[in-house]
Amino acid sequence: MTTTHTSGPWTQIVYAGDQHTSIVNSDKTHIAAVNKKNDAALIAAAPDLLRVVQDLMSDIIDLSTLSGDDVSSCHYLYDAARAAITKATQGQ
């Protein structure tokens, strides 16, 4: 199944003293309006989280067979997942 969504990256624009947050893409196209800042962070991270999970799923291998470049690839995916989660949770 192929799902399409507005391309990322998505970012937050906070209005009215943190009372309203808009999620926009790189062209400043409105994606969503959110009232809770933590929800906005998670929504803004959605394209990154999706990409990382897709990368992880396509690269799953038997860890006992890892060596050389495979180890580097797993470190890259781990770092990418950590960065996306940090974005979604605002470092909390």
Q: What is the pLDDT of residue 56?
A: 74
At 24 the pLDDT is: 92
Tell me the pLDDT of the chain (92 aa) as tens digits: 344 678 788 998 888 766 788 999 989 889 999 888 788 888 888 888 888 877 776 666 555 566 666 666 777 777 888 788 788 776 65
The domain segmentation of the chain, as residue ranges, is 10-89
Please tell me the predicted confidence (pLDDT) of residue 50.
Answer: 83
The C-alpha atoms of residue 72 and residue 79 are separated, in whole angstroms, by 11
SS3 of the chain: the string is: CCCCCCCCCEEEEEECCCCEEEEEECCCCEEEEECCHHHHHHHHHHHHHHHHHHHHHHCCCCHHHCCCHHHHHHHHHHHHHHHHHHHHHCCC
